[in-house]
A = this chain, B = another copy of it.
Amino acid sequence: MSTRVRASLFQGPEMSGDVACNLDAIEHAATRSAEAGSAVLVTPEMSATGYDIGDLVHERAESSDGPIFLAVSEIARRVGVAVVYGYPERAGGRVYNSVQVVDASGTSIARYRKTHLFGDLDRGRFLPGEELVVQFELGGIVCGLLTCYDVEFPETVRAHADAGTQWLVVPTGLMVPFDIVATHIVPARAYESQVFVTYVNRCGRERDLQYCGSTCAIAPDGTELGRAGRGEATLTVDIDPAALDSSRAINTHLDDRRRDLYTPRTG
C-alpha cells in the first residue's frame, strides 16, 4: 500500500566548494528537510563534489562505498531522512557520473550511472552507464532515477513507466540557455508518460557555466507542484499516489500507444 510521501528538493548550494563544504550544505538541507516532515531530500547532479570542476572530478571520484557515501549515510541516519546525491563514481579504472540513494537508516538502496552523456562536459570525463532503469521504493511508491540530459529523451521515461516507475527523481545540472528543458520538457515527460517528475537543478555559476535553477515537481496530469527561481532554494512537495491513479484514469496515453506502428528500435 503506497502513501503520500513528502520530499524536499534542494537547489544548491549557490557556491560549490570543496567536498567538505558540499557535505555541509547537504547536511543543513537534510536537517531542514526533517524539520519540514520530508521523508527524502533530493540534491542536484554532482552535489557532493561540484560538476564543472575540470580535473578535480577525477581527483574527487570514489567508489560507491567511499568516504562521501559514509558521510551521507551518517547524515541520513542521524536526521532520519533518505538522501539522493550525485558524485563521480570510480569503479575499476572507470569514472561514471553517478547518483546514489541512501535511506533513512543510512543504507544504500539505489545507484545509477548517467546513461546519456552531455557534450564534452560529460564525454571528456565519464563513461556512460549501461543500465537504463534503476528503481527504489519510498513509502510504497516505485521511484526511478535519471540524471539531467537523460530526461530529455522521451524513451528513457517511457522505459521507466513501462517498468512500473511512478515517480522519477532527476538530479540535474542544467545551464543557460537550455531553460526550455526545465520549463517545457520536464512537464511534457510527466504528462506523456504519466509519472511524477522531480527535477532538481544546480544554481549559481561554476567556471563558464550559469546554471538555470528552475527546480520543479510536476504531477502526472501536468500540474506544477512547485518551481524554484534561479537562486538557492528548497521546495517541499507531496507526492500523492492517488493523484497518479486519477490522472491515469483520464490521460490514457500509455494504453493508447500504437506500438504496432512505431519503427522497431534497433541499435
Contact = CB atoms under 8 A, between A and B. Distances in A.
* Smallest CB-CB A-B distances: 9 pairs: A188-B188, A154-B154, A180-B222, A132-B261, A260-B267, A155-B262, A184-B187, A185-B188, A184-B184
Contacts of A158: 154, 262-263
Interface stretch (A55-63, A89-97, A206-214, A251-259): A251-259
A191 interface: yes
A130 B258 CA distance: 9
Contacts of A154: 154-155, 158, 192
B180 A185 contact: no
Contacts of A149: 256
Contact of A263 (B153, B159, B184, B261): B159
- This chain: how many copies in the complex? 2
Interface residues of A, number: 37
Given A159-B263, A185-B191, 4 more contacts: A117-B256, A149-B256, A154-B155, A180-B222
Contacts of A260: 267
B259 A192 contact: no
Nearest to A130: B261
Contact of A116 (B117, B156, B256): B256
Contacts of A263: 158-159, 162
A265 B267 contact: no
Interface string A234-257: 000000000000000000010011
Interface string A167-200: 0000000000000100011011101100000000
Nearest to A131: B261
A160 B11 CA distance: 37
